[in-house]
Structure 1
Amino acid sequence: MASRALILFAHGARSAGWAEPFERLRDMTAARVDDCEVSLAFLELMAPSLPDEVAAMAARGITRISIVPVFLGLGGHLQRDLPALVERLRTQHPQLSIDVAGPVGEDAGVLAAMADYCVTSLS
């Protein structure tokens, strides 16, 4: 059983189909890591919520969690909502080490891949 986990954190939407690319990203990520549980959690409108996912992981014996915001930029949700959620989670689960990465959309490699996609759309 893994002692560490990676949670891809997305916004959430009312449409169930909205989550499909994030589920594919979760599955692709899980296929590339060993001894690490990979899951998906949402800020709102979809389950599981981040608090529910972290609580379930803690109950399974996970001790280290990395959260990757699957957002394009550092907007209000990542500046206010996520830090407040993580602070509460750290208080509720003091046995956990919780780290938060920057939003995927601010990574140079992600931006380069997106630019490549945009350029190839010029047909």
Structure 2
Amino acid sequence: MNLNAKAIVLFGHGARDARWREPFDRLAALWQAQHPQTRVELAFLELMQPSLAEAIASLADSGASKIVVVPVFFGQGGHLRNDFPVLLDACKQQFPDVALSATPAVGEDEAVLQAIVDFSARAL
């Protein structure tokens, strides 16, 4: 498998206010700058585009055969426990030639929590 066959989807909730998306755009740009060999797409659960299926379709159309979805949520709430698995399963059926997987919510990671502690400590 060549490196271009791997891709990441950064998956957020979505919001009515377009400004809410700005940190996600910066996150995707940081990813792409640090990992230029691996494509990244944003996707949103609701209220914003692209949807998860649209982002996966874009990556698959560009040759991605392994895609990891990273939920950029603070915790494993109802959306990630109930809605997300249904969406991911539907995408697995829609894109059978793509190996789709997902990580836990980013807020479940100790390094992410430590980054928040460090950020908070700098505010003192």
TM range (shorter): over 0.9
| CA deviation map 1:70-93 (0-9, x unaligned) | 000000111011111110111111
CA distance in 2, matches of 1:29, 1:56: 17
Match of 1:27 in 2: 29
Is 1:96 matched with 2:111? no
CA distance in 2, matches of 1:60, 1:22: 22
RMSD of Structure 2 on Structure 1 (CA): 1.2
CA distance in 1, matches of 2:40, 2:77: 24
CA distance in 2, matches of 1:60, 1:29: 18
Amino acid at match of 2:43: A
List 4+ stretches of structure 1 deviating above 2 A: none
Match of 1:44 in 2: 46
Match of 2:58 among 56, 59, 68: 56
> Secondary structure of 1:65's partner?
strand
Match of 2:67 in 1: 65
- The answer for unaligned runs of 5 or more in structure 1 is none
Match of 1:116 among 100, 115, 118: 118
| CA deviation map 1:27-86 (0-9, x unaligned) | 101111142101111000001111111122222221110000000000011101111111
* TM-score relative to the length of structure 1: 0.94
CA distance in 1, matches of 2:118, 2:63: 41
More displaced 10-residue stretch of structure 1: 31-40 or 101-110: 31-40
Query: Offset of 1:121 from its aligned partner?
Result: 1.5
CA distance in 1, matches of 2:114, 2:72: 16
> Secondary structure of 1:2's partner?
helix
Amino acid at match of 1:25: L
- The answer for unaligned runs of 5 or more in structure 2 is none
